[in-house]
Amino acid sequence: MSEPAHTAASERVAAALRERILSGEISPGSRILQEEVADRLGASRLPVREALLMLTAEGLVTLEPNKGARVPILDRQDVEVLYQMRERLEPLALIESLPRLDDGDLAEIAGIQRRIEQHDDVREFLALDRDFHMATYGGCGIDHLSDTVTRLWNATQHYRRAFMLISGPGRRWIVNAEHGLLVDALQRRDAVDAERYLVGHIRRTRLALVAHPEVFAGKA
Amino acid sequence: MSEPAHTAASERVAAALRERILSGEISPGSRILQEEVADRLGASRLPVREALLMLTAEGLVTLEPNKGARVPILDRQDVEVLYQMRERLEPLALIESLPRLDDGDLAEIAGIQRRIEQHDDVREFLALDRDFHMATYGGCGIDHLSDTVTRLWNATQHYRRAFMLISGPGRRWIVNAEHGLLVDALQRRDAVDAERYLVGHIRRTRLALVAHPEVFAGKA
DNA sequence: TGTCTTGTGAATGGATCCATAACGTGGAAA
DNA sequence: TTTCCACGTTATGGATCCATTCACAAGACA
């Protein structure tokens, strides 16, 4: 509006919607009205339509012809398979990334992990956890791979948060142990160990998540 | 215009562009002019813009702000990693799909394979090979997984064709042997064997493809 | 002669207006 | 009272028009 308006309007709308969806302000099942979004952001409906298409590609909304956009509702099997996709793809991203991470990058990753250990708040934890893992994939220069990993994180974000809110911080130490071992393996430039701890981390999270049926609204 | 115009225009434009890109008529690096496409298909520029966004999500075009759309050029590492993604994801799709394939589906898959063995033409082979593998994933009800697999096939389509044109039909029997073993494992409902043959098939294809640097235009 | 600058053209990005399809509501008839 | 049909409202889909930005080329100055 006033100052940094030279950024493309579609991108701004997409970023705003992405933030609102990932933060949980717009929950799964909610309908997204083009005009309402346009009014709120002071843009026309056209950038909103383009933004919705972008977000569809990111797995954050589904678009039904003539019926509008919604945040998709996933059942337990959906989330379980998405986690299995993560278990298979993120190690590849890590393997591609590790050789290109310099010592500064690794120090930054370790710093994020230290901050995670200090934060109990679910909202902060979720953001930092995402930053942590994405930083470990930061050296992966393959757009297709990075984009796919981002999609998987986006699609499962709401259910990850729901699980964190239910399970509480009691067993949070496990995450810190796993992250710690992963960071150590990275600093030793040991891709085999890093992959081992990463797969274990994701797999344990998946099993813990699907063990809580109350996370999934519709069906068991 | 005249008859089946009730199908959404964006979808029609996307389908037409998808066909032209996958067939090789629009090759990597080519710029795609919105107005030219719009004129050719008798539509406005707006559906073209939406179609380009959809195709971006499918990995068929890249969109640079204020600079238009292009079919992306991949280097050898890109294609290699895309194949590694396939090696990791497609077995998961197969595992999810197999329990939901009935005997009719399996018979149809076997039929496609028989037709592959009868066709030497590269164009026919590419289409049938795609049909074959996609049919084996047909029972996988997870949209995210199916879409991702489709993206990987789309993104590598051009380089697969280039490789087929270079290598000729000489070693085509290997594909038939691999497909045959895969079909047999599927008919035995043996997911372990099926995964084994599928991974081997993709991995061998990857190694054969990256051994032909002339497939990749820019750099080695 | 080489390089920087400026101008012109073309293509993309955005906004407003119109058509169409879906949903809900109200009324009428059985 | 219930059900079905028709109408009106609302939201999305599409087309045309205008603004902005990028690219290329021609010219001027060092």
The domains located in chain B, with CATH, are: 9-70 (1.10.10.10), 76-215 (1.20.120.530)
> Which of A59, A89, A155 is opposite residue B85, by nearest beta carbon?
A89
In the predicted model, is pLDDT for residue A7 greater than 50?
A: yes
Strand D: which of residues 56-75 in chain B lie with Cβ below 7 A?
66-67
Positions of chain C reached by protein Cβ under 7 A? 11-17, 21-23
Q: For residue range B85-142, what is the model confidence (pLDDT) as tens digits? A: 999 999 999 999 999 999 999 999 999 999 999 988 999 999 999 999 999 999 999 9
Nucleotide in closest CA–C1' contact with A33: D11
Strand C: which of residues 51-80 in chain B lie with Cβ below 7 A?
63, 65-69
Q: Can you give the pLDDT at residue B7?
A: 63
Tell whether A78 lies on the interface with B, counting CB pairs under 8 A. Answer: yes
Q: Are A132 and A116 in contact (CB under 8 A)?
A: yes
- The residue among B6 and B157 whose pLDDT is bigger is B157
Measured CA to CA, the distance from residue A158 to residue A175 in angstroms comes to 18
Nucleotide in closest CA–C1' contact with B64: C12
Tell whether A49 lies on the interface with B, counting CB pairs under 8 A. Answer: yes
Name the pLDDT band for B3 (thresholds 50, 70, 90).
very low
- The residue among A6 and A55 whose pLDDT is bigger is A55
Q: Can you give the pLDDT at residue A3?
A: 34
B89 Cα to chain A: minimum distance (Å)? 7
Tell whether A65 lies on the interface with B, counting CB pairs under 8 A. Answer: yes
Cβ separation A8–B53 shorter than 8 A? no
Q: For residue range A133-164, what is the model confidence (pLDDT) as tens digits? A: 999 999 999 999 999 999 999 999 999 999 99
Instruction: Report CA(B66)–C1'(D28) in Å, whole number.
Output: 30
Name the pLDDT band for A166 (thresholds 50, 70, 90).
very high
Measured CA to CA, the distance from residue B195 to residue B134 in angstroms comes to 15
Write out B80-116 in H/E/C secondary structure: HHHHHHHHHHHHHHHHHHHHHCCHHHHHHHHHHHHHH
Q: Can you give the pLDDT at residue B98?
A: 98
Torsion angles phi and psi, residue A189, rounded to 5: 60, 35
Strands lying side by side in the sheet with B68-70: B31-32, B68-70, B62-64
* Partners of A32 in beta bridges: A69
Q: Among residues 133-162 of chain B, which lie with CB inside 8 Å of chain A?
A: 141-142, 144-145, 148, 151-152, 155
Q: For residue range A189-198, what is the model confidence (pLDDT) as tens digits? A: 999 999 999 9
Question: Mean of the per-residue pLDDT values for chain A?
Answer: 93
| Rounded average pLDDT over B30-58 | 93
Cβ neighbours around B3 below 10 Å, total = 5
Q: Can you give the pLDDT at residue A171?
A: 87
Q: Which residue has the tokens 């235009």?
A: B217
A149 Cα to chain B: minimum distance (Å)? 11
A66 to A63, A89, A136: CA distances (angstroms) = 9, 35, 41
Question: Mean of the per-residue pLDDT values for chain B?
Answer: 92
In chain A, % of residues over pLDDT 90: 88
In the predicted model, is pLDDT for residue A214 greater than 80?
A: yes
Q: Which residue has the tokens 């539509």?
A: B43
In the predicted model, is pLDDT for residue B218 greater than 70?
A: no
Cβ separation A81–B145 shorter than 8 A? yes
Tell whether A207 lies on the interface with B, counting CB pairs under 8 A. Answer: no
> Which of B53, B81, B151 is opposite residue A54, by nearest beta carbon?
B53
ipTM of the complex: 0.90
Q: Which residue has the tokens 């911080």?
A: A169
Which three-class secondary structure state does DSSP give residue A117? helix
| Rounded average pLDDT over A122-140 | 96
Name the pLDDT band for A218 (thresholds 50, 70, 90).
low
Do you know the residue count of chain A?
A: 220
| Rounded average pLDDT over A35-44 | 93
Measured CA to CA, the distance from residue B70 to residue B63 in angstroms comes to 7
Tell whether B199 lies on the interface with A, counting CB pairs under 8 A. Answer: no
Give the range among A166-175, A184-193, B69-78 with minimum mean pLDDT: A166-175
| Rounded average pLDDT over B24-29 | 94
Q: Can you give the pLDDT at residue A5?
A: 39
Tabulate helix, strand, coil % of chain A (nearest 5).
Answer: 70, 5, 25
How many H helices and E strands in chain B? 9, 3
Separation of first and last alpha carbons in chain B: 46
In the predicted model, is pLDDT for residue B69 greater than 90?
A: yes
- Angle (nearest 5°) at CA A110 between A106 and A115: 145
In chain B, % of residues over pLDDT 90: 86
Q: Does residue A47 approach strand C to less than 7 Å at its CB?
A: yes
Residue A190 in tokens: 């040991």
